[in-house]
């Protein structure tokens, strides 16, 4: 199609799972579904039939019951599969044999490979070990782990008995650990001994010792760097992973079949505006939504190799793990994606024949700025899809992928989040890819864009909403018995409608553009501007390594202030500032041009790499930042205090 960066061939589009499923539904339900738009409309208007079809088409193991959806007309009261019984781990561990289930690399330091049989045997031993501690259905197991195979095994063992899994990455500090796990009262804490990052061995013994008396539970230590046995001896109730499972022989796995809405995961919000929210996700909702996204939107097949660059503290880890339910091999990585060089993940992709390569928009931008061209340096014949999330992927990022990585790859930008452990909008392997655009809403998701008066927008920017219930809506928040905090988080803006907090816009191709978080939207002179629109222009300037944009209260209005981190050896002088202004003026609009451009030494980000506009805005206005533990580099905020240029 003219103007598209990529269009699948007729054969590739016809063989895509989303096309095959559309044809299957048309036949099974005697309905005319001539194209994708009609298919999506049907999936939303006939949600009960659609989600029941997903269950059957994906061969979910369990008892479905006779009611796919108890539709009350109220998002908060609707219930999917109220009669169903199933187990998440049973559906992920259906495959057996000596082929690879998990492949792991920890930078260039540690390699591992687990077969499906080895994974099942390890889960069996862990299942028995958990039960020996008295862990039962509904109990919480907390973990601070790198993205290692043992993390997947522990999660599956927890799910197999109906326990609730909660995890974070080992770069969290003592306060960050307790802000999360202190709220949920776990019965067991699983940790590592140390971890590798950017070629350095980073010890965690001090913070594990500090949180032990606060958690007051047994601690199991995965031996990642050869220090587990020593760390165990320093704890009151510490045991190595190997010792923990040593008394149990593998046998046939037992799976506790649970109600569809039984808790599976507790995920934690970023915590940049206070103590993290504990978001509870269900067994059935998580499984069904992930199967739909993997099979239909990512075209994931049995035997494919699925990679996502993530930590155990990001919802994409949970999303990645669910790939086992489609028979995919999970390719795990832990550490810096630039250690020992920017080639490391592409070396991995080439050597293990990745089918799907998932990452963040920030990583793709960093690759482009380093001038790396994997299409020239690596064999990527097996790579069909590149997935991007975490922040909006700029048009520059799209161009980079097709120019310098692979010209015939399906590039899918995705957006959703921890709140729904999945996506509202994402890719479609049977449709063209347009620069800067997410291809469309997820199947079965009643996604819309509303104006301030809660009216749908055909064009223009507004709030991303979902107007009907969907399976992966959270059960609620932990320790929120009357649901007041949950309703305030998503349903206060537009009563009865899920408001996600993203500033979005429809496109003429049926796709969407996410312009950033709506709570960070700039509003100079009453005109709403998404920060992503400014970042897209900044990414075109090689002299700038990073940026954060905020609205500063000024003279009874708001003015746009842009902080920039210069590339190495670059000085932000008046000439460069003029280039920045010109780029923004011509690439976006005159309204987007910042009133102030100020150089800083670094940009503050969360542990998942998201720029924290709200924290910078609070510092600039002299307000306390509520949770520094959520940031990867909280010390950077000091650079934004008392900047003279902000006072005039």
| Long-range pairs of 73-76 with CB within 8 A, sequence gap ≥ 24 | 74/496, 75/467, 75/468, 75/469, 75/473, 75/491, 75/496, 75/497, 75/498, 76/469, 76/483, 76/487, 76/491, 76/496
pLDDT tier for residue 526 given thresholds of 50, 70 and 90: low
Least confident of 122-136, 302-316, 361-375, 513-527: 513-527
DSSP conformation letters of 467-494 = -S--TTS--EETT-TT-HHHHHHHTSSS
Least confident of 71-85, 150-164, 473-487, 552-566: 552-566
Q: Does domain 116-259 bear CATH number 3.40.50.980?
A: yes
Residue 209 has pLDDT above 50, yes or no: yes
The per-residue pLDDT for 610 is 83
Residue 2 has pLDDT above 60, yes or no: no
The per-residue pLDDT for 150 is 98
- Provide the 10 A C-beta neighbour count for residue 236: 10
Residues carrying CATH 3.40.50.980, the chain: 116-259
Residue 350 has pLDDT above 80, yes or no: yes
pLDDT tier for residue 645 given thresholds of 50, 70 and 90: confident
The whole model's pTM is what? Answer: 0.89
Residues carrying CATH 3.30.300.30, the chain: 521-647
**What are the pLDDT digits (tens) for 247-274?**
999 998 999 999 999 999 999 987 656 6
- Strands (E) across 468-581 are located at 476-477, 498-506, 512-517, 544-554, 557-566
DSSP conformation letters of 151-167 = HHHHHHHHHHTT-EEEE
Q: CA 177, CA 179: separation in Å to the nearest integer? A: 6
CATH class of segment(s) 521-647: alpha beta
pLDDT, averaged across the chain: 94
Residue 1 has pLDDT above 80, yes or no: no
The per-residue pLDDT for 471 is 98
Write out the two tokens for 329.
């091999």
């Amino acid at each position: 199609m003219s103007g598209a960066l990529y269009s699948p061939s007729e054969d590739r589009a016809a063989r895509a799972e989303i096309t095959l499923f559309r044809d299957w539904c048309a036949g099974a339900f005697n309905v005319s579904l001539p194209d994708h738009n009609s298919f999506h409309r049907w999936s939303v208007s006939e949600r009960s039939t659609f989600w029941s079809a997903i269950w059957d088409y994906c061969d979910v193991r369990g008892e479905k019951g006779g009611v796919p959806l108890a539709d009350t007309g109220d998002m908060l009261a609707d219930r999917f599969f109220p009669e169903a019984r199933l187990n998440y781990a049973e559906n992920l561990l259906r495959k057996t044999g000596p082929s690879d289930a998990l492949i792991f690399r920890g930078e260039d330091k540690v390699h591992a490979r687990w077969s499906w049989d080895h994974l099942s045997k390890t889960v069996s031993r862990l299942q028995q070990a958990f039960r020996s501690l008295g862990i039962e259905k509904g109990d919480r197991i907390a973990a601070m782990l790198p993205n290692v195979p043992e993390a997947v095994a522990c999660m599956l063992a927890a799910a197999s008995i109906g326990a609730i899994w909660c995890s974070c990455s080992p770069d969290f500090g003592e306060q960050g650990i307790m802000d999360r796990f202190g709220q949920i009262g776990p019965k067991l804490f699983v940790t590592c001994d140390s971890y590798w990052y950017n070629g350095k061995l980073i010890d965690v013994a001090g913070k594990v010792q500090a949180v032990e008396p606060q958690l007051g539970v047994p601690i199991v230590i995965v031996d990642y760097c050869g220090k587990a046995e020593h760390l165990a001896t320093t704890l009151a109730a510490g045991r190595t992973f190997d010792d923990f499972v040593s008394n149990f022989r593998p046998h046939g796995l037992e799976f506790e079949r649970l109600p569809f809405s039984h808790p599976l995961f507790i995920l934690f919000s970023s915590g940049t505006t206070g103590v993290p929210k504990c978001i509870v996700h269900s067994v059935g909702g998580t499984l069904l939504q992930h199967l739909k996204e993997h099979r239909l939107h990512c075209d994931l097949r049995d035997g494919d190799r699925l990679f996502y660059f993530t930590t155990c503290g990001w919802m994409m880890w949970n999303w990645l793990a669910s790939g086992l339910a489609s028979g995919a091999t999970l390719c795990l990585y832990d550490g810096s994606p630039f250690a020992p060089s920017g080639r490391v993940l592409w070396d991995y992709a080439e050597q293990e024949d990745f089918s799907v390569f998932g990452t963040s928009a920030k990583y793709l931008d960093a690759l482009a700025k380093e001038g790396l061209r994997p299409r020239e340096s690596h064999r990527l014949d097996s790579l069909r899809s590149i997935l991007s999330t975490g922040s909006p992927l700029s048009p520059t990022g799209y161009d980079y992928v097709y120019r310098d990585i692979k010209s015939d790859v399906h590039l899918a930008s995705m957006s959703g989040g921890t709140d729904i452990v999945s996506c509202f909008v994402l890719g479609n392997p049977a449709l063209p890819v347009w620069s800067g655009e997410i291809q469309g809403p997820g199947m079965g998701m009643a996604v819309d864009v509303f104006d301030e008066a809660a009216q749908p927008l055909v064009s223009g920017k507004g709030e991303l909403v979902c107007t009907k219930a969907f399976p992966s809506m959270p059960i609620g928040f932990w320790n929120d018995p009357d649901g007041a905090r949950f309703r305030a988080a998503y349903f206060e803006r537009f009563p009865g409608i899920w408001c996600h907090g993203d500033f979005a816009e429809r496109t003429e191709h049926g796709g969407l553009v996410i312009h950033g978080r709506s709570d960070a939207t700039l509003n100079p002179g009453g005109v709403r501007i998404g920060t992503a629109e400014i970042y897209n222009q900044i990414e075109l300037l090689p002299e700038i390594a990073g940026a954060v944009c905020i609205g500063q209260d000024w003279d009874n209005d708001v003015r746009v202030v842009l902080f920039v981190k210069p590339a190495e050896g670059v000085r932000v002088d008046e000439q460069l500032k003029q280039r920045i202004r010109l780029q923004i003026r011509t690439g976006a609009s005159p309204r987007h041009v910042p009133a102030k451009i100020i150089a800083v030494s670094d940009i503050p980000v969360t542990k998942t790499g998201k720029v924290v506009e709200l924290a910078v805005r609070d510092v600039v206005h002299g307000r306390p930042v509520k949770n520094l533990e959520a940031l990867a580099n909280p010390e950077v905020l000091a650079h934004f205090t008392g900047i003279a240029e902000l006072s005039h």
